[in-house]
Chain A
Amino acid sequence: MSVAEATEAAARVAAPTGTARLTSPGSPDLATHLATFGPLPVRAGPAVLLDELRASGLEGRGGAAFPAWRKLAALPARERARGRRAVIVGNAAEGEPQSFKDATLLRVAPHLVIDGLLTVAAAVDAHSVHLYAQSSVLESVSRALAERRDARSIQLREAADSFISGEASAVVSALAGRSPVPQDRTMRLTESGLGGRPTLLNNVETLAHIALISRFGAAWFRSIGTPSDPGTRLVTVGSDGKSSTVLEIAGGSRLGDVLRFAGIDPGSLSAVLVGGYHGAWLPASALEARLDRQDLAVFGAAPGAGILMGLDARHCPLTVAAAIATYLAGESAGRCGPCVNGLPAMAAVLGRLARGDQDPALAAEVRRLAGLVTGRGSCNHPDGTARFVLSTLTVFAEDVAAHQAGRCRKDHS
């Protein structure tokens, strides 16, 4: 089948309209998948895929928001010339407790993720293809893999159950049969990763978008969303009073709308944590902001892996933040000195502030410790934790002042 014929075959199935794209199949089986999206177009060659991804503006949905085309382009041609074909990894390790959009995607549309893996693998003539996912979705993924003959090359591996399990070097370490913790890196994984081969890690949602872009094109992808956040994205929305739901929204949707759509009244919140525990807070006054890079940058936040956690206005934000900081300190892999020592120290001082210790030096000490851990680890766990803590002090400055004056009347439980 030629490229034109393949595109025609795919075009026989109409592209999804509206915001339900990844989540449009009513059932996760292959027949529904094919009926919804049509067959996977015949491989169009790496240059075509690269151009299409570049035109689409798709950014990674695992948190780092690295342009998908650039990662693909980063695979060094000279490595292939030396016969070192690349390793492709689909990453669904979702250690973040506030996120389960990747698990949801693998339950709702596993075949899109598989299509994405196969598309990228074909484009780079991959050496091997891996899918790294938590135990809770292994069964649905295995069932999907068993349904098709073209997916036999995909090796499924159970992800470790820890906050940092999805960090790229931790995933590669786990796939290599070693401890699932981040490694020191002086080379990019796209230069030397699993077994020393160039390794391309993509979040599973990114792969699913790639599968759709290769079918329906960049223009279709951009027909929804904003220029700075084109397409749709999966978000996990919850609050400290309400359990989370996964939604597929148009890129650049307004935060308030997303919350309402998830059944949360923005008026009941004092702030929303955007980007999960490594993210930053947006105060209630800013909920008209769009969930895109531009609008969120002011607050030091980013859409990241699409995690929104509302904070009930009755709850003391410092108490909530101190609990999260303590959790994050406990989730350090324990290998890097500044992280091992700095995160518990930072969480402890924030905890003292939250519990009503009126020592006026506490806030400055939290800031000092945040500065001390930033950039000083083999992964970004200390950086993300410091970002979250600093955002807490900035956005909840009034609460900090109330605590230091001994007059915080919010719920501290």
Chain B
Amino acid sequence: MTRDEPRTLLHIDWTRCDGRGLCTEILPELLTRDDWGFPLAPRHGSDVPVPDRLVDAAVEAVALCPRLALSLLQR
């Protein structure tokens, strides 16, 4: 891990995610949607690094996820 890498991770709980699409609207810089509508972070799986400038938006995405499938982790 280099110094510039974000310390905040957006964790996706796939067992809860229903691909409603709210997070992809709030965090278009991080997430798109796959063929079935589930959030897709290019080059990342379940833990998506969140740059500092997007942390507030990520907090909002966590709060608004209708399935409570998102959480923020600090590494």
Chain A contact residues, CB within 8 Å of chain B: 182-184, 186, 335-339, 341-342, 345, 372, 374-378
Contact = CB atoms under 8 A, between A and B. Distances in A.
Given A186-B71, A186-B73, A376 B15 contact: no
9 A-B pairs with least C-beta separation: A375-B45, A336-B14, A184-B13, A337-B38, A335-B15, A341-B36, A184-B15, A378-B15, A376-B45
Interface string B12-31: 11111111000000000000
Given A337-B17, A339-B14, A375 B35 contact: no
A378 B38 CA distance: 14
Given A374-B45, A376-B45, A338 B36 contact: yes
14 contacts: A182-B15, A184-B14, A184-B15, A186-B71, A186-B73, A337-B14, A337-B19, A337-B37, A338-B34, A339-B14, A341-B38, A375-B46, A376-B45, A376-B46
Interface of B: 11-19, 34-38, 40, 44-46, 71, 73
Contacts of A374: 45
A65 B12 CA distance: 26
Given A184-B13, A376-B45, 16 more contacts: A184-B15, A335-B14, A336-B14, A336-B17, A337-B17, A338-B36, A338-B38, A341-B36, A345-B35, A372-B35, A375-B45, A376-B14, A376-B38, A376-B40, A376-B46, A377-B14
Nearest to A340: B36
B46 to A, nearest CB: 6
A186 B11 contact: yes
Nearest to A187: B73
Given A345-B35, A372-B34, A375-B45, A337 B18 contact: yes
